[in-house]
């Protein structure tokens, strides 16, 4: 039972009552939660909301990530994953056969996936037809596998290369087998900060418009926020408010993923106070604030790849209800120094969830539960 008087002593009595009454929090409320020194108090409010929505269930998915290329024209300053062209050391482009082999798994250890997550850099010349062919070929071999692929940034890039509208690109990819889109590329919407970390990427309005177009076609999408770099508390809350407004308009966001910035091999210079010693608490507080602000997005993901397994477990007590999945292979976080495992097995994920005090629920990409 939460203690109203304690929240009053923190100066958060009005926020406490709004959360209990399931009322929307304002931009200012979000900033006040960001300044609250008691992370566990913010976490307990978020846990109340998470329990109201999902009880003691914590979701996971049997999935595999495939990053088809790290060659990218965008040159985001925070990104350790990208290479500027194919000749640069460490650059790669997978062939369709490489991708199909990864989806199959090894002969002695075949994968039985529920979700395939495909994303990559914005390659200068791979044509839309190549992506359609990949999706069709995967679907032909694995008709029941849900394909979650391409961020709004990639869709904007495919449109630019093909000369088609983003809506037309989405229609073509849906026809080829796309059922869901991951939430990457949102980073931070606030214009000044976005200019510093990803000046060449689709801007905030474009990202949100493409998400809305996908929703209008019945393609569910996720959404993200990259935090813990040079953004301000105002930037974070502004980002959440813009996502919330878009969700009011188009309603297709399924899950929000707060992505804590992994600092290695980055060209971004971080302020002194962003040191490693404060990151864990800030990450838990941020997960909690996201749950509290995003009252119209059903799920909050504690992405164990970026948070690490231990903090992801703690995040389940701070508003998160999903751990993502088995993953198998991950490059974006690990090339930037993430210390988590490459993949986890189903028993490991279920153990992590049970050990944290929750009931594991296996789900599809679109969050239908699997018995
Ligand atoms: O868009 C890049 C981020 C994103 C770093 O939708 C970094 O289910 C931290 O969006 N430190 C891709 N983050 C990952 C992503 C994602 C992951 C898992 C599940 C889902 C989903 C989406 O990773 C990029 C960018 O925002 N990123 N570099 C870094 N150094
Ligand atoms: Fe390219 Fe994505 Fe890296 Fe930006 S974050 S440089 S768009 S791969």
| pLDDT tens for the 371 residues of the chain, in order | 799 999 999 999 999 999 999 999 999 999 999 999 999 999 999 999 999 999 999 999 999 999 999 999 999 999 999 999 999 999 999 999 999 999 998 767 777 899 999 999 999 999 999 999 999 999 999 999 999 999 999 999 999 999 999 999 999 999 999 999 999 999 999 999 999 999 999 999 999 999 999 999 999 999 999 999 999 999 999 999 999 999 999 999 999 999 999 988 888 888 766 655 568 999 999 999 999 999 999 999 999 999 999 999 999 999 999 999 999 999 999 999 899 888 999 999 999 999 999 999 999 999 999 98
CA atoms within a 13 Å half-sphere pointing along the CA-CB vector of 96: 14
Ligand with the closest atom to the CA of 335: 1
Residue of 83, 90, 121 to test ligand 2 pocket, by largest number of atoms within 8 Å of CB: 121
Give the span between the Cα atoms of 269 and 266, in whole angstroms: 8
pLDDT score, position 268: 86
pLDDT value of residue 6: 97
Q: Quick one: tokens of 353?
A: 């969830």
Phi, then psi, of 309 in degrees rounded to 5: -60, -40
Beta carbon of 227 within 6 Å of any ligand 1 atom: no
CA atoms of 85 and 279, how far apart (whole Å): 33
Q: Can you give the pLDDT at residue 174?
A: 98
**Minimal-distance CA residue to ligand 1 atom 18:** 303
Residues making up the chain, counted from first to last: 371
Is residue 331 within 8 Å of 70, Cβ to Cβ?
yes
- For the four alpha carbons of 171, 173, 179 and 184, in that order, the dihedral sign comes to negative
CA 184 to ligand 1 center in whole angstroms:
5
Q: Is the CB of 185 under 6 A from ligand 1?
A: yes
Residue 259 belongs to what H/E stretch? strand 253-260
Distance 187 CA to ligand 1 centre (A): 8
The runs of H, that is alpha helices, within the chain are 4-9, 13-20, 27-35, 39-54, 96-104, 128-141, 152-162, 166-176, 191-197, 204-216, 233-250, 276-293, 304-307, 309-315, 346-355
The pLDDT, as a whole number, for residue 111 is 75
Query: What's the confidence (pLDDT) of residue 26?
Result: 98
Give the model's pLDDT for residue 109: 74
Greatest alpha-carbon pair distance for the chain in Å reads 62
What pLDDT sits at residue 27? 98
What is the reported pLDDT for 273? 61
Orientation of helix 27-35 relative to helix 13-20, angle to 10°:
120
> Given the structure tokens 């980055």, which residue do they identify?
266
* d(CA 72, ligand 2 centre) in Å: 6
Mutation choice for ligand 1 from 83, 226, 339, CB with most ligand atoms inside 8 A: 226
- 122 in ligand 1 pocket by Cβ < 6 Å? no
């Amino acid at each position: 039972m939460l203690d109203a008087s304690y929240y009053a002593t923190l100066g958060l009595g009005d926020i406490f009552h709004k959360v209990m009454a399931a009322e929307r929090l304002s931009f200012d409320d979000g900033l006040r939660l960001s300044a609250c020194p008691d992370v566990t108090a913010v976490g307990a409010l978020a846990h109340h909301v998470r329990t109201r929505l999902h009880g003691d269930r914590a979701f996971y998915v049997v999935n595999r990530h495939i990053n088809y290329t790290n060659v990218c024209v965008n040159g985001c300053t925070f990104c350790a994953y990208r290479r500027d062209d194919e000749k640069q050391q460490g650059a790669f482009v997978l062939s369709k056969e490489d991708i199909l082999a990864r989806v199959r798994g090894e002969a002695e250890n075949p994968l039985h996936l529920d979700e395939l997550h495909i994303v990559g850099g914005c390659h200068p010349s791979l044509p839309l037809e190549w992506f359609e062919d990949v999706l069709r070929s995967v679907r032909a071999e694995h008709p029941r596998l849900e394909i979650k692929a391409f961020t709004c940034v990639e869709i904007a890039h495919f449109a630019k290369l093909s000369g088609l509208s983003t809506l037309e690109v989405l229609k073509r990819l849906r026809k080829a087998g796309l059922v869901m889109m991951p939430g990457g590329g949102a980073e931070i919407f606030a214009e000044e900060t976005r200019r510093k970390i990803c000046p060449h990427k689709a801007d905030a309005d474009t990202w949100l418009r493409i998400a809305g177009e996908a929703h209008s076609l019945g393609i569910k999408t996720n959404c993200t926020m990259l935090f813990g770099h040079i953004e301000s508390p105002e930037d974070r809350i502004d980002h959440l408010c813009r996502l919330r407004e878009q969700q009011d308009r188009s309603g297709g966001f399924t899950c929000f993923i707060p992505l804590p910035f992994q600092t290695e091999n980055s060209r971004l210079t971080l302020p002194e106070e962003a040191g490693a010693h404060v990151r864990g608490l800030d990450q838990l507080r941020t997960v909690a604030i996201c749950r509290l602000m995003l009252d119209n997005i059903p799920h909050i993901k504690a992405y164990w790849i970026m948070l690490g397994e231990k903090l992801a477990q703690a995040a389940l007590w701070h508003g998160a209800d999903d751990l993502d999945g088995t993953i198998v292979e991950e490059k974006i976080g690990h090339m930037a120094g993430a210390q988590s495992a490459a993949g986890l097995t189903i028993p490991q994920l279920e153990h992590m969830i049970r050990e944290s005090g929750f009931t594991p629920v296996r789900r599809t990409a679109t969050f239908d539960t699997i018995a």
